[in-house]
């Protein structure tokens, strides 16, 4: 059984975020801070529907009601009975998409794609490791190791899925060969033909494609990944801001892997925080689910 398209559509359109609301309590006049879970659209530029939120003062316990709206990724809220009270919010941290419902969906899904299953399982283990060590700072060796492995898992998913798409049917092989900048110009020597004369031509071609994808392509180069998927008519990202965030994460990966968490000027990069890593894992998961949705869409149309 494949993933139900309506379920993926649902996961694509919404997510949960966490933020802290800060305000001066109109009852006790003390500064209050409370964690708020926010239900927000995936497309940050689209304002969310107003959400009824109850805030309690962290000092006196008095509860206040209000409506919260997310506009361009920023929470806005007024207290119903105290509209003059100013509320400020910390930057939103993306939580599990659909939270417990999302995790339940993933656990109960009868996986069609072992590639996607492997990716979800691996990112789940990384999240568990982070949850067990939330106190590590943004420059800690532990967080840098997790961040590096996150990209290894993500790149493996992107590569495996592309290989499966190419070899799914001969038409895809022909399209990919004709539009791939390097493969379409590749020449075969007579010595190669002689050495592989017992191998069927199609298998010989597949081996060259496989080598190009597996050994020559860097899948943390996300613009190139986009171009490769586009050859077969597939999109990788459904949200420009999600794309931008992962592009920036790819740059941070370079500092982490090649400079031990320092930038090109030797400054320590301390961006690898618990919140940032958890947010980036969820962004990667959304991309994976969107690609799966694209594959199902193409199968339905063909």
pLDDT for the residue 167: 87
pLDDT for the residue 219: 85
Distance CA 168, CA 276 (A): 36
**235 part of a folded domain:** yes
**102 part of a folded domain:** no
The one-digit pLDDT tens for each residue of the chain (302 residues) are: 334 444 445 544 456 677 778 889 999 998 888 878 776 554 433 455 788 888 888 889 899 998 888 776 678 888 989 999 988 887 666 554 434 544 454 445 444 456 887 888 889 899 889 988 888 888 899 999 999 999 999 999 999 999 989 888 888 888 888 888 777 777 776 676 666 666 666 676 777 787 888 777 888 889 999 999 999 999 998 878 888 889 999 999 988 888 888 888 889 999 999 888 988 998 898 888 888 878 877 777 77
Specify whether 165 is located in the same domain as 286: yes
**105 part of a folded domain:** no
**223 part of a folded domain:** yes
pLDDT for the residue 258: 86
Specify whether 175 is located in the same domain as 134: yes
Specify whether 83 is located in the same domain as 187: no
Specify whether 21 is located in the same domain as 120: no
Domains contained in the chain, number: 2
Domain with 238, as residue range(s), is: 113-301
Domain boundary among 66, 94, 122: 94
Specify whether 117 is located in the same domain as 46: no
Specify whether 174 is located in the same domain as 295: yes
Specify whether 192 is located in the same domain as 268: yes
pLDDT for the residue 204: 66
Specify whether 277 is located in the same domain as 169: yes
277-280: long-range pairs with CB below 8 Å, 24+: 277/130, 277/143, 277/146, 277/147, 277/150, 278/93, 278/94, 278/95, 278/127, 278/130, 279/93, 279/94, 279/245, 280/147, 280/150, 280/245, 280/246, 280/249
Specify whether 135 is located in the same domain as 223: yes
Would you state the structure tokens that stand for residue 169, as one six-digit string?
């049917």
């Amino acid at each position: 059984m494949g993933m139900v398209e309506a379920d993926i559509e649902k996961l694509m359109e919404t997510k949960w975020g966490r933020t802290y609301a800060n305000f001066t309590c109109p009852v006790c006049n003390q500064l209050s801070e409370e964690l708020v879970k926010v239900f927000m659209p995936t497309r940050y530029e689209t304002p969310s529907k107003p959400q009824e939120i109850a805030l309690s003062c962290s000092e006196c316990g008095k509860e206040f009601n209000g409506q919260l709206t997310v506009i361009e990724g920023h929470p806005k809220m007024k207290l119903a009975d105290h509209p003059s009270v100013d509320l400020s919010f910390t930057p939103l941290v993306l939580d599990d998409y659909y939270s417990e419902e999302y995790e339940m969906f993933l656990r109960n899904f009868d996986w069609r794609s072992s590639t996607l299953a492997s990716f979800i399982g691996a990112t789940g283990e990384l999240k568990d490791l982070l949850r067990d060590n939330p106190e590590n700072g943004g420059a800690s060796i532990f967080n840098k190791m997790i961040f590096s492995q996150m990209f290894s898992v993500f790149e493996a998913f992107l590569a495996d899925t592309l290989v499966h798409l190419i070899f799914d049917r001969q038409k895809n092989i022909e399209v990919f060969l004709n539009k791939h900048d390097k493969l379409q110009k590749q020449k075969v020597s007579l010595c190669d033909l002689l050495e592989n004369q017992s191998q069927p031509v199609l298998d010989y071609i597949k081996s060259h494609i496989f080598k190009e994808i597996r050994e020559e392509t860097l899948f943390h180069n996300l613009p190139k990944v986009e171009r490769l998927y586009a050859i077969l008519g597939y999109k990788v990202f459904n949200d420009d801001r999600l794309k931008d965030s992962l592009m920036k994460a790819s740059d941070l990966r370079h500092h982490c892997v090649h400079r031990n968490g320092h930038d090109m000027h030797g400054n320590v990069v301390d961006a690898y925080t618990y919140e940032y890593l958890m947010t980036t894992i969820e962004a990667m998961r959304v991309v994976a689910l969107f690609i799966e949705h694209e594959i199902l869409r193409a199968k339905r149309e063909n």
